[in-house]
Chains A and B, each alone.
Chain A
Amino acid sequence: MGVRYVGAEVQRMEDPRLITGHGRYVDDITLEGMLHAAFLRSPVAHARIGSIDTSRAAELEGVHRVLTLADFPAELQKPMAQLYPAPPIEHNKTQYPLAHDEVCHVGQAIACVVADSRAIAEDALALIDVDYENLPAVVDVRTALDADAPKAHADLDTNLMGRLGSKFGDIEEAFAKADHVFSASFMQHRGGCHSMETRGVVSRDDPWGDGLTLWTSAQSPYLIRRALAAWLGEPEERVRVIAPDVGGGFGPKAGFYPEEIVIPLAARMLGRPVKWIEDRREHFVSTTTQRDQHWELEVACTSDGRMLGLRGNVTHENGAWVPYGVLLPFTSLVPLPGAYAIPAVDVGLDMVFTNTVPNSPVRGAGRPNGIYAVERMVETIARELDIPPAEVRRRNYVRADQMPYATGALLRDGSPATYDSGDYEGLLDKVLELSDFAGFDERRAKAREEGRYLGIGISSCIEDTGVGPYEGTTVRVEPSGKVLVQTGAASQGQGHHTMIALIVAENLGVAPEDILFESADTGKFPHGIGTIGSRVAVNVAPSALDAATKVREKALKLAAELLEAAEADLDIENGIVSVNGAPDISIPLGDLAVKLAPMSGVKVPEGFDPSLEATSYEGSKGAPIASGANVAEVEVDIGTGEVRVLRYSVAHDCGVMINPLIVKGQIEGGVIHGIGNALFERMIFDDQGQPMNTNYGEYLLPLASEMPRVDIVHQESPSPLNPLGVKGAGEGGTIPAAAAVVAAIENALSDFGVVIDDYPVEPQYLCELIDRGMAQAAE
């Protein structure tokens, strides 16, 4: 075996292009004859559309076409299909690519102008006359199921989209034998995508050549190919979808959007390539977000704080449409019972329509919500029984000696949810040490002397990662000796090129820089799923390992014949097969590739398939469960309600780390996203469904100046489910963060009896809680 890369901090191979300004994002693509599109979007949250008059817009110089649904071919004037059909969906409301006779949220696409330039297309939007008959809008998830609430869709007499649940164990018995039952009710709000690159699509149709090609800023190009081909009624092979460099995804780019129908259709109708790049306001109103959940929970426990059962109900804001099945609400319940051995759970979830932009997962999907809910109940027990929060956790953790631990819950495919490996208490010990938890009382007392309020909060989490069914890898040695590595998995910055190249380099015996990497192009690799749910390393890495190993075996077998040596005596290093101890007896991999892919009249060696290549879809035998324990230390200004996170400590376990540098980056970025959820990011709508903060002056994202350093310690519990022992790492930073920060704020304000029932925790809200606490203390 040659050089080992797996486990080493290797600098990323994609970086040289990106730091010199030579990335290729979708807006960087320019095609001959390309036109530019802009969308007219609904300015109101709910209305019937009377008429749409596009005649003045069409007359503007430089405008090539104004499209409404009525301009589509008759057979295509239909709603989009459900990407993830699921039995709980009672009202499968998917939108038309351009509005039909009703708009259901501000930002819904109504018409598309295609012009010589984006500026002209936008000029023309102002010339389209739409007759809106306003309808009442429903906005607040907490009242959307009231009998007299306005209905989000004019043809429905309910806002209930459907119901989900997670139920296992004997919940009645758990509550019957409990020493205590505590309840809590709280809102959770998670914001939008806010990748720094917005969405965007370039499309070209070449009916006599390549067919329809789509470059799109997306996480799941294969899903888009399937959905678009099916919608058009055409073979998938005639639709090619390419995700070029993508400037962040975080979930909302994993779906299939109306623009991914309208732009290719426009390109087809006009016979010219068309580009559309979402602007930032469009991103706020047309890219899916996450937003509100209202949780009402009860926990049954013993007098020493051991949890026996958890029950309650969640009201989940779905937004106007169901573009993405029930993946987001489902993942809110999947994490139950968190890192704890709770024998019985019964939590239901109502999915509720509102007249707001549709929802989809954002980093972590519903997992941060589910973990936050469990951690809230742990904090509630600690407060009510006056037991230190760390101790309540210790008494309830699934122990290392219980692994693999079946929670009792069932996964979507009916198999039991099982924690594969880990040591949750070990993580707690590590993070308490890293954060100098023991020294906190002293820090707190010292700060208090200066009139400053410090608080500390703990959060533990588990994360189901690596959902199947597969990703694949092809490894092919070229005559030049370079190794082509192809996969379907799209990268939005996670460093897939580096991760996959290192595995192939190590296991084939070539230098990483001799690897040519191609990904996320349906025209180059036949199958793929998408980059969601921390699944790529878990799914791709085993396939890359397997493909590289197969190519190595094939190369060794052929080299053994040619060099007249035993396979066992051969090794491959730096792309050259040689005899151990006799390095002069050797043959480069490129020469073997030529022998296996000869030109006319030359035989392929007996017993070999052509080409020095292999393709594998090896993956993981189930979902590896990553885990973490975090500690946030905050300072609260009791005068202004401002919260500052002073330090943030993470103990994280994603199994074997392929590249610790990349894992570190994933955790740091994930934590900061989670702190943003806890403190800043709120998408605000007025009671008519009008979004109030559609720019970065008003919608607050975490900035460098406000964010702490993130200290990280790793624990590596290899997953037994895949040969590399890896677990997903993409979301483990985000999932526990809000719970830790909120617990820390409460801890800082314990003198005032502050209990937080909503996040992001905004200064005004916090001041109200502090004032209330002060008033009660004074009484």
Chain B
Amino acid sequence: MADTRDIELTVNGESRSATVETRTSLGDFLRQALGLTGTHLGCEHGVCGACTVLVDGEAVRSCLMLAVQAKGREVTTVEGLSNPDGTLHPLQDAFWRNHGLQCGFCTPGMLTSLAAFLEENPDPSEREVREAISGNICRCTGYQGIVDAALDAAKTMREG
């Protein structure tokens, strides 16, 4: 019989509780148990960054964290980035305007990684943005649209 634990956590502002297998990753838990399929698993070994979510505000690879480790924590996924009224997060809007995505698979991880980064560094240089997403692989865009979007969003957020 699989080893399980009961956990409670907050996901996108909602309190959730579940019984999870101890070996289940946070990414699998979000996708399969909670149906939050916006978080994507690209490599499952912590390099590609597609599965990045925010745990207590920090960017975390949900493929490398177990669901049980999220007990009592606050998790934000791409579905929780936009405002409750449905308006887009400045990063989402900037990705749209700057053609910051093509296939869209790496996009949720890019958005969450950059959301955490811009909290810490609201006025980054292009070089800093490139370093910030150096743990997120995009095969489609060549990164330029993403970098432009991040700089654009930072400006929007600074200007409030």
Contact = CB atoms under 8 A, between A and B. Distances in A.
A18 B104 contact: yes
B78 interface: yes
Contacts of A16: 96
B144 A280 contact: no
Interface string B18-42: 0001011000000100011111111
A15 B105 CA distance: 11
B97 A196 contact: no
Contacts of B44: 279-280
Interface stretch (A229-237, A659-667, A685-693): A659-667
Contacts of A425: none
B9 interface: no
A655 interface: no
Contact of B141 (A21, A28, A665): A665
Contact of A119 (B23, B38, B78): B23
B107 interface: yes
A704 B42 contact: no
Contacts of A28: 31, 37
Contact of B103 (A493, A668, A672): A493
A579 interface: no
Interface stretch (A100-108, A553-561, A582-590, A695-703): A695-703
B59 interface: no
A interface, over-half SS: loop
B139 A196 contact: yes
Interface string B123-150: 0000001110110111111111111000
Contact of A195 (B47, B82, B105, B130): B105
A492 B102 CA distance: 8
A707 B144 CA distance: 9
Contacts of A493: 101-105, 140
Interface residues of A, number: 57
Contacts of A412: none
Contact of A668 (B23, B77, B106, B144): B144
B140 A20 contact: no
In this complex, the interface size class of chain B, counting residues with CB under 8 Å from chain A, is 35 or more
Contacts of A492: 103
A248 interface: yes
A30 B42 CA distance: 18
Nearest to A61: B1
A669 interface: yes
B142 A22 contact: no
Contacts, number: 172
Nearest to A9: B99
Contacts of B64: none
A413 to B, nearest CB: 32
A564 to B, nearest CB: 45
Contacts of B119: none
Interface string B37-66: 111111111011010000000000000000
A494 interface: yes
B139 A280 contact: no
A19 B102 contact: no
Contacts of B35: 30
A704 B140 contact: no
Interface string B104-115: 111110010000
Nearest to B12: A21
A134 B1 CA distance: 37
B102 A196 contact: no
Most chain-A Cβ atoms within 10 A of its Cβ — which of B38, B136, B143?
B143
Contacts of B106: 196, 247
A136 interface: no
Interface of B: 21, 23-24, 31, 35-45, 47-48, 50, 77-79, 81-82, 88, 92, 95-97, 99, 101-108, 111, 129-131, 133-134, 136-147
25 contacts: A15-B104, A16-B96, A19-B92, A19-B111, A20-B92, A21-B78, A21-B81, A21-B108, A194-B139, A195-B103, A196-B48, A247-B103, A247-B104, A247-B106, A248-B140, A665-B141, A668-B142, A668-B144, A669-B139, A669-B142, A671-B142, A672-B141, A696-B45, A705-B130, A710-B142
Given A19-B95, A19-B101, 8 more contacts: A15-B96, A19-B111, A21-B81, A24-B37, A196-B48, A245-B103, A247-B105, A671-B142
Interface of A: 11-12, 14-25, 27-28, 30, 119, 194-198, 245-248, 250, 279-280, 492-495, 661-662, 664-665, 668-673, 695-697, 701-707, 709-710, 733
Give the top 7 A-B pairs by smallest Cβ distance, nearest first.
Answer: A21-B38, A493-B103, A247-B105, A18-B104, A672-B142, A493-B102, A696-B47
